[in-house]
Every structure is written in C-alpha cells, then in structure tokens.
Structure 1
Amino acid sequence: MANETDAHPIKRKPVPRGIAHTGPVILAYGFRPFFLGAGIWAVLAMALWIGALVHGLPIGGPYGGPAWHAHEMLFGYTSAALAGFLLTAIPNWTGRLPVSGAPLAALVLVWLAGRLALIVPDAIGLVWTIALDTAFLPLLFAICLREVVAGKKWRDLKVLAGVLALGAANGGFHALVLTQGDPALASRLAVSAYVMLIGIIGGRVVPSFTRNWLAKRHLTNLPASYDRLDTAALLVALVALAFWVALPEHWATSLFCIIAAGLHAARLHRWKGWQTGEERLVLVLHLAYAALPLGFVAVALVPFGLLDPAGALHVFTVGAIGLMTLAIMSRATRGHTGMPLTAPPLTAISYGFLVVGAIFRPAAMLLPDHYMTLVSLSGLCWMLAFVLYLWEYAPALVIRRKPRPD
C-alpha cells in the first residue's frame, strides 16, 4: 500500500474562487471588504489630515494631528490592505478554504471600530479606543497562523512574523503617545515590518508575474530564480532596518542602508522589469519595488543632514508601501473577479498619481518655502489615486463574482 501511495500521489484540488455563492458577495473573500475599506480610508484619512494641516481641523484628540495621521496610514489603511492580501493569498499557499461570511465580517468590524474610535479617541475613553484599535492585528495574526499551521506551510511563518511586529508596533505607538514619548520609534518599526514584507512577498510575486508575462510572449530573457543574492538582500535589509529603528541618525545606519540599497537594486535588476513596459500591471510592481533601494538611500542621507527623517520615511511609505499596495490591490481585484489581467487607462493614471505624490512628499522637505504646497499636492495625488481605484474597482468588489468554469 505504501508503494502504491508513493507511486500514485493524491493530487490536491485547486483552491476554489469565490467560495460563497449565496449571501453578500463582499463577504465571499478577504480581499473584497478589506480592499474596499482600505481604498475608502486612504481617501478619507488623507482628506482629514489635509484639513488639519490647512484649516486646523481637530482630529485625533490627545494624539494630535501628526500622530493620528502617521497611525492611520500605517495601522489603518495599510493594515487593511495587508489583511486583504493575506486572507486571499494564504488559501493559495495552503490549499485551504478562505475565511468568509460571518468570521470575515467580524474581523472587518473590528478594523472599522478602530478607525472610527481614533477620530475622536475621548468619545468612548482612551482605554476602550486603544483596546478596539489594538485588537485587529492580533486577530489577523491568529487567523493567518491557524491557516498556515493547518496547511503545514512553515516557510510562510516569516510573513506572519511581520504581522506580529506590526501588532507590537501598534501597541508601542499607543504607549508612547500616552507616556508623552515620541511615536516615531513605533512608526519606524511599523515601516520596517512593511518593508521586510515587501522584500519577502515582493520577492515572490514580482519575478513570478514578470516571468509569466514574458513567457506568454515567448521571450527568453526571464527573471533570475531565487538564490543567495536574494537571501543576502533580505538579511542585510533586516540589519539595516534594525539600526534605523534604534539609531536613525547613526553612521552605522547609513552604512548598512547603503549596502541594503545596492543589494535590492541588484535584485530588482535581475527581474528584467524593463521588458514589461507594454503591461503597466506588471511594470508598476517593479516601480514600487524600486522605492525600496531609494528608501534605503534616503535613510542613509539623514545622519549627514542631507535629508530630514520625515522626508526619508515618506520615500518608504508613499513610494514603496503605497504604490505596492495599490498595485497588488488592483491586480488581485481584477484577477479574483474575472477581469482581464491588464491595466486599463484609469488604473494606469492612478499609478501615475501615486508616483508623483511619492516625489512631492520628500521634495517638500528640500524646498521649505513651498512645504505646505508640496505636502498638500502630495496628499491630493494620494487621494486621486485611490479615488480612481474605488471608481474602477468598488463595483467589482461589491457585486461582481468570478465566473465559475463550466
């Protein structure tokens, strides 16, 4: 019997798409409510922040406008985008059914409760506000851990380590604000976790999608396979980010960040992105990943006074994190709702707005006389990018089911 089993292994059935064929479509798969929520909150949170900057709109209560803005971009918008990705990708990794229906709705409500509570934290009391907000990432971690362990996909535990780090950063953010500390430390930890997740997950999807697209066109100059250079890039990035979190203005931080920038630039070059200009849905992944080495260079300039800390941080947040999440959200929405895997004009324009916003934000620090103008323009570009995403994809997220094969 053992020999027969070895000779004729049981083939795993493909993961079905859109499992729930009854009930609200939006609760059929994790990407639907979380990508929709991420897009809406990306627009609303930025509008509130611009209102606070320009018109003195009171937001965030005792947190203050700047801390509220940092928190809601890192733990509001981006955590929703991450949840949508993980709850959709993990079933592919493990071969298990996706979280859907009532459990998915409960998780979405926890995320939403945190967003509403933090607009006016004093309304229900700081303790309840913090409890609501900090509950989301541990719940997401627990759900994902259960699926990864059940599917015995042990190599994916390193992805969940990033979620765990984000949960710790979120708790630390609240603690620092309450103790009159500087939440920038927690912000750097959160950004570092996202950068590592982009390095790990982007290292899978960017060359994979590129290879598939090039192979369909019978091109032979394909992306290099994962090897020691990729491992070195990730390990050096981890060291560089650890120095940045703890010692953001130390010369050693600059040294490791420059090395990390070179390794990630070499890694990106091996993925042959210059051949994908005809398909912006693939090209944008390379542009987003290119912001990683640029972000490391920006961080390396800070100890020498060539760039301020906020400007350097925004190269990571707007350029790498913002553009990569938008790229993944648009691609996943198209793929999982049966839309063609190509970027139509509105999608391409949304990418363009975010690229321009990523340039304006650090430029504001270099041109202090135009600071408010450039910051406002950067925020406006961010909002327009996600307005276009919602315009094009919200109907698909809410009502469009992927056609079932005959």
Structure 2
Amino acid sequence: MTPASVKRLFSAGYRVFFLLAGLFAVFAMLVWESSLAIEAAGGTVSYGFATAPQMWHAHELIYGYGAAVIAGFLLTAAPGWTGLRAAPSGFFALASAIWVAGRLAVWWSASLPPLLVAGIDLVFLPIVGAHVLTLLLKRPKPAQMMILGVIALLWSGNAVMHGDWVGAGGDAWLGARVGVLALATLIVILGGRVTPAFTRNAMVRTGREHRLPRNPVRLGIAAIAPAIAASLTLLVGLPMEIPGALAAIAGLVALARLARWRGGWTFGQPILWSLHLSYGLNALGLVLTGLAWSGIGSELAGLHLLAIGGIGSMTLAVMSRAALGHSGRPLVAPAPVAVAYGLVPLAALIRFAASASPTLHDAGVLLAGGLWIVAFTLYVVALWPVFWGERGIAKPAQA
C-alpha cells in the first residue's frame, strides 16, 4: 500500500465501501462458522459482544454488511443520477471510519454502555442518507427519493434491535426481520431497474433490435408497493399474516417481471446472469418468507434463501459490476468473481435444504457458510487492484 493507493481508496464510494463490505462478509461469517463449529464439538464460545452469537450474526450481516453495500452504491450512483460532483475524499474517510466504529462498538458491546453502542451504530446510515438527500434535492425524482424512504425503514429496524438491547421495549428479532425485508425491497426496486436495463444494453450492443427485455411500469409498481408495505406493516407490529401476504404478492409479481427480461439470452455472461438469478432468488425468498409468516413452511428457511440467495447474490453482482465499470475496466467478470456468482446461490440452496433436515442441519449450515466465505474471498482478491489501483481508460458505467 502506498500513499497514492490509500488516496485512491477514499476517492469513491464504490472503492472503500465495496472493499469493506467484502472483507466484512468474510470476517462475519468466519466468526459465525467458528461459533457453530465449537458448539457442535461440545465447547463454549465467548466473544466481546453482549448478544448471543446468532443475534450478532443476524445484526452484523444486515446492518454491517448491508449498510456498507448501500453506502457504496448510493454514494457512487447519486452523483450520476444528478450530474453533480461526488463527495470529497474526506467525507468517504469519515463515513467509512464511522462504519468501522459501529462494527467495533457492536463487537465490544459487552464492555460498553448499550446506549453508546446504539448511538455509534445508528449514526452511519443517517449520515450517508443526508448526503445523498442533499444531492437528490437539487434534482429530485420520486423514484430516487423512494429509495431513501426504504433506507429509513432499514434504519428503523436497526433502531428496534438496539431498543431491545438497551431495554427500551424493542424486539431484536423483529428488527432483524425488518432489516432483511427492507434490503429485499431495495433489490426489488434497484434490481428491477438495473437487471433489464443492463441486459437490454448488452443486447443492443450486439445489434439485436427485437425481443428485448420488457419492464412495464405498472408491473414494477405492483411489485414495489407491496414490498414496501410489507416492511412497514411488519415494523409497526401488525399481525404477521399481513406483511406475509404482502411479501408473497411482491415476490410473485417480481417473478412475473423477471420472466420478461430475457434471462435465457444471458447464459455465458456471468456479469448478467448473476443479476437475473439473484433477482429471482430474492423474489422466491419473498414468496416463501411471506408464506411462512402465514403459517405455511419454515420462516428460517425462507429468510435464509432471501438473505443469502437474494441479498447476498445481488449485492455481490452489483458491487463487482459497479466496481469494474466505474474504475474504467471492461464489464466482464474475472473468472474468480464468476465462480463466486455461482457459489453464493449454491450456499443459499444448501442452507435452505438444511432447514428442512434436522439430521443434516449442522453440516448444511457449515457448508453453506464455507461457500459464502470462499465466494467473498474470491471477490476481494480478484477486485483488490480495482479498489486500490488506478482507473482504466474506459468511461465509467452507471451503477
């Protein structure tokens, strides 16, 4: 690492936050896998955080990893949406330091006052959101402002978790559910834009003029509205059947959208099929989670399919594509990243199956976690030069 490479790291949101997200995805899963393995061997686990290991696992992958991805995406995309300058490097350095402070506060929460932990952790998304809002207000568009509303729901889920931990009457598991659903809603919104758009652009570049992806606005609204409503009704504590029905509807409509996006054409192009596959798994996860909240099937299985297959796969696909495009490199996934695109959905399916088989549960969970670790290690190693190195000569792509 040289002073020049460090300066480059803090020059763009995709550089610092997509690197932090990848590193933390590996670290957080290693902690969880170690905890499971030690307990399976009959040992006991003691870490510095105040919560049970499974609660730390849920919180940190939703509000640690998830928040880093959101920050990297929005701080990269918003200047392109508005035509305004990106934030200065000092802002990226400060924002990333606050994110790291949140992770350290939660990690050492057994030794810190719960209110202090909450304050440090909860400040990150408002800082990112406020900066993005200042850009969007100069050229406001309802569709983009809606994204900030969903991020407010995500932040509220985190506040509910901390409310439980400080003894203020919150429900930590409810907060985790809200967080997963809010992230899945962002994928319904943003994945529903970029997946057909990138596929269309790739088709047009080959000279294709017919049978292009179709993305009807009304169908998009029919998927997005119930997804947002599901997060909101879950947050305010309505009976689980209500957000369950809304989530299932959102997932079914999202699958109907996906069927119009010509996913079959993308075979052989990992940087495209990964978007289609992850959007489909996100939609399927919404359906199965919604059914579980209505008493049909396993909630744990549905939530993990949603979190790993939908959120994990889509964020990996979007981070890698945005990093390549905005760094001026060709939009072709490096071989290790292409492998990672396949490993994360495989991990989701194995974790889903493990929930249905008590005898294979522990082995399935450990295997799924191992595949996740390998996938994100491949991502970090393959794109390490992208995060730290100089830009290529191509023009940046839109995130």
Instruction: Please indicate, yes or no, whether the TM-score normalized by the shorter chain is above 0.5.
Output: yes
Q: Distance in 1 between matches of 2:6 and 2:292?
A: 52
Question: Paired residue for 2:61, among 47, 61, 73?
Answer: 73
Residue 349 of structure 1: aligned partner: 339
- Specify the alignment match of 1:192 in structure 2: 181
Does the 8 Å CA contact 2:219/2:257 hold for their aligned counterparts? yes
Residues in 1 aligned to 2:301 and 2:234: alpha-carbon distance in whole angstroms: 14
Give the one of 292, 308, 314 matched to 1:324.
314
Deviation string 1:233-279 (CA, Å, 9 cap, x unpaired) is 212333344455545753x5554444333211110111111111121
Q: Could you tell me which amino acid in structure 2 is paired with residue 213 of structure 1?
A: A
Paired position in structure 2 for 1:334 = 324
Paired with 2:14 and 2:336, the residues of 1 have a C-alpha distance of 20
2:198 partner amino acid: F
Distance 1:315 1:143, change over 3 A: same
Verify: 1:215 aligned to 2:204, yes or no.
yes
What 5-or-longer segments of structure 1 have no aligned partner? 1-20
1:398 alignment partner, one of 384, 388, 395:
388
Could you tell me how far 1:160 is from its partner in structure 2? 0.8
| Shift of residue 300, structure 1, vs aligned partner | 3.5
Q: After the TM superposition, which residues 254-333 of structure 1 pair with which residues of structure 2 at under 5 Å, given as runs?
A: 254-303=244-293, 306-333=296-323
Distance 1:165 1:238 in 2: 9
Q: Does 1:46 align with 2:34?
A: no
CA contact 2:69–2:315 (8 Å) conserved in 1: yes
Correspondence list, 1:103-252, <5 A: 103-179=91-167, 182-219=171-208, 220-242=210-232, 246=237, 249-250=240-241, 252=242
Q: Are the aligned partners of 1:327 and 1:351 in contact in 2 as well (CA < 8 Å)? A: yes
Equivalent residue, structure 1, for 2:41: none
Counterpart of 2:76 (choices 80, 88, 102) is 88
Cα distance between partner residues in 1 of 2:99 and 2:321: 23
Q: In structure 2, what is the Cα distance between the partners aligned to 1:241 and 1:126?
A: 26
Distance in 2 between the 1:98 and 1:218 partners? 34
Q: What do the CA deviations read for 1:70-96 (whole angstroms, capped 9, x no partner)?
A: 110001011101100000000110000
Following superposition, the deviation at residue 191 of structure 1 comes to 1.5
In 2, the alpha carbon distance for the partners of 1:210 and 1:115 equals 36
Partner amino acid, structure 1, of 2:249: I
The answer on whether the counterparts of 2:252 and 2:287 sit within 8 Å (CA) in structure 1 is no
The answer to whether the aligner puts 1:358 opposite 2:357 as a matched pair is no
Report the counterpart of residue 37 of structure 1 in structure 2.
20
Going from structure 1 to structure 2, the CA distance change for 1:22 and 1:387 (only over 3 Å counts) comes to closer
**Distance in 1 between the 2:339 and 2:146 partners?**
34
Give the CA deviation at 1:123: 3.1
Separation in 1, partners of 2:285, 2:263: 19
Is this contact kept in 1: 2:74–2:132, CA < 8 A?
A: yes
Structure 1: how far apart are the matches of 2:104 and 2:248? Answer: 40
Q: Indicate the percent of aligned positions where both proteins have the same amino acid.
A: 35
For structure 2, the 5+ residue unaligned runs are 39-43
Higher Cα radius of gyration:
1
CA contact (8 A) 1:59 1:68 kept: no
Give the Cα separation in 1 of the matches to 2:226 and 2:67. Answer: 25
CA contact (8 A) 1:148 1:154 kept: no
Secondary structure of 2:191's aligned partner: helix
1:116: Cα distance to partner? 1.4
Offset, 1:333: 1.0
Give the 3 Å change call, closer, same or farther, for CA 23–115 of structure 1 in structure 2: closer
Matches of 2:240 and 2:248, distance apart in 1: 14
Distance 1:151 1:305 in 2: 45
Decide which moves more: 334-343 or 179-188.
179-188
Aligned to 1:7: none
Q: TM-score scaled to structure 2, two decimals?
A: 0.90
1:24/1:107 CA distance change after superposition, 3 Å? same
- Code of the aligned partner of 1:199: V
Aligned-residue offset at 1:404: 7.5
* 4+ runs deviating over 6 angstroms: none
TM-score, normalising length: structure 1: 0.89
Q: CA RMSD in A?
A: 2.1
Supply the AA of the counterpart residue of 1:194. L
Letter aligned with residue 234 of structure 1: I
The count of residues paired between Structure 1 and Structure 2 equals: 384
> How far, CA to CA, are the matches of 2:267 and 2:5 in structure 1?
40
Once the two structures are superposed, residues 165-209 of structure 1 have per-residue CA deviations (whole angstroms, 9 ceiling, x without a partner) of: 122111111112333754111111111211221111112111110
Distance 1:62 1:292 in 2: 31
Q: Check 1:274–1:61 CA distance in 2 against 1; reply closer, same or farther (3 A cut).
A: same
